[in-house]
Amino acid sequence: MITLKNPAQIAKMRSAGHLLYDVLESIREVIKAGESTAAIDVYAEEKIRRAGAIPSFLNYQGYPKSICASIDDEVVHGIPSDGAILKEGSILSVDCGLILDGWQADSAFTVGIGRISPEKEALIRVTEECFFLGAAAAIQGNRLGDVGNAVQKHAEAHGYGVVRELTGHGIGRSMHEDPSVPNYGLPGHGGRLKSGMVIAIEPMITLGSYHVMEMDDGWTIKTVDGSACSHYEHTVAITENGPELLTLPGYRFPG
C-alpha cells in the first residue's frame, strides 16, 4: 500500500534528508586509497549518532553495518570490512540511510579512488545523469514507467547495462515501502505518481551486462560478468510544484 505524506511529514523527511546529505558529504572527505571500508562505516555511524539520528541500515533485516560499501563490480550491499582496502583506480559506491524523528532518508553515490580510467569516469557521470533524468520525470500525473524509461534510455544510449533485479522504492517511516521504482520501463505504464508520494530513485548502471548475482555472505550483489557498476540515489518527494530532492538541499530542476 502506498502511503501519501502530508506537508508536515514531508518537512520531517526533508530534515532527515538534509542531515543525510551532510553525513555523505563528510564521508566523501575520508574516502582515499589505503582506507578500509570498515573505517568509513565507523565514521559514518558516529556522524549519524552525534546528530541525534539512527543509522537505519544497521541490523535492518540482519544487515551488520551502517553503510553499504560496494567496490568496482559490487553493485550494492557490499559489507564494510577491515580487509576491504580501497585501491587507486577502483570505484566505491556508498549507500547510507538514517532515521531522524521517526522518518527515513536514503541516498547513495559512487566515487573514484584517486585516478580512475576514463571509462569509469564516464560510467559515474552517466549514472548521475540517469538519476536526474529519472527524477525530472517524477511529476504528479506521470507514471513509474516514465521514470524508469528516462533512466533506461540514457544508460543504454551509452551502451551500459541497467540492473533489473534491484529497484528503487517508496520510503517514509519504513526504509522500504510501496511502490517499487524500476530503472527501466515503458512511458505511460506503471503506477501513477501522486503528490505526497516519497520515493527513492536509484539507478544501478554497469559497464557491461545487467545480470547480477548474490555472494555467499547473503548480501553483496555483483555483476555476473565482472564489469564495474555505479550507483546513485536520492530520496524524492512528489509535490504539486514538481519533484523535490530531499537528500540534495537547494537543488532546482532546470526550467
Q: pLDDT tens for residues 157-207?
A: 999 999 999 999 999 999 999 999 999 999 999 999 999 999 999 999 999
At residue 169, the pLDDT reads 98
Q: What CATH number has the domain bearing residue 184?
A: 3.90.230.10
At residue 195, the pLDDT reads 98
Mapping DSSP to helix (H, G, I), strand (E, B) and coil, where does residue 244 land? strand
Average pLDDT over residues 221-243: 98
Average pLDDT over residues 52-65: 98
Question: What are the pLDDT digits (tens) for 70-103?
Answer: 999 999 999 999 999 999 999 999 999 999 999 9
pLDDT reading at 213 higher than 90: yes
Q: Which residues pair with 98 in a beta bridge?
A: 55, 105
140 grid coordinates: 504528479
**Domain containing residue 45:** 7-245
Judged on CB neighbours under 10 Å (0-12, 13-18, 19+), 166 is: middle
At residue 164, the pLDDT reads 97
Is residue 96 in a domain?
A: yes
Is residue 254 in a domain?
A: no
Is residue 57 in a domain?
A: yes
Is residue 93 in a domain?
A: yes
118-136 vs 144-157: helix crossing angle, rounded to 10:
160
Mapping DSSP to helix (H, G, I), strand (E, B) and coil, where does residue 133 land? helix
Q: What amino acid is encoded at 236 in this protein? A: V
CA pair distance 117, 123, nearest whole angstrom: 10
Angle (nearest 5°) at CA 170 between 169 and 176: 75
CA pair distance 246, 255, nearest whole angstrom: 19
Is residue 127 in a domain?
A: yes
Q: CB within 8 A of 219, min separation 6: which ones?
A: 63, 77, 78, 79
Q: Which residues pair with 198 in a beta bridge?
A: 237
At residue 163, the pLDDT reads 98
- Quickly state the pLDDT bin for 49 (edges 50, 70, 90): very high
Is residue 252 in a domain?
A: no
At residue 255, the pLDDT reads 73
Closest by CA to 255, choosing from 238, 236, 242, is 242
Question: What are the pLDDT digits (tens) for 222-231?
Answer: 999 999 999 9
Is residue 58 in a domain?
A: yes
The total number of structural domains that make up the chain = 1
Is residue 241 in a domain?
A: yes
Distance between terminal CA atoms of the chain?
33
At residue 142, the pLDDT reads 98
Question: What are the pLDDT digits (tens) for 115-155?
Answer: 999 999 999 999 999 999 999 999 999 999 999 999 999 99
Q: CB of 95 within 8 A of CB of 68?
A: yes
At residue 183, the pLDDT reads 98
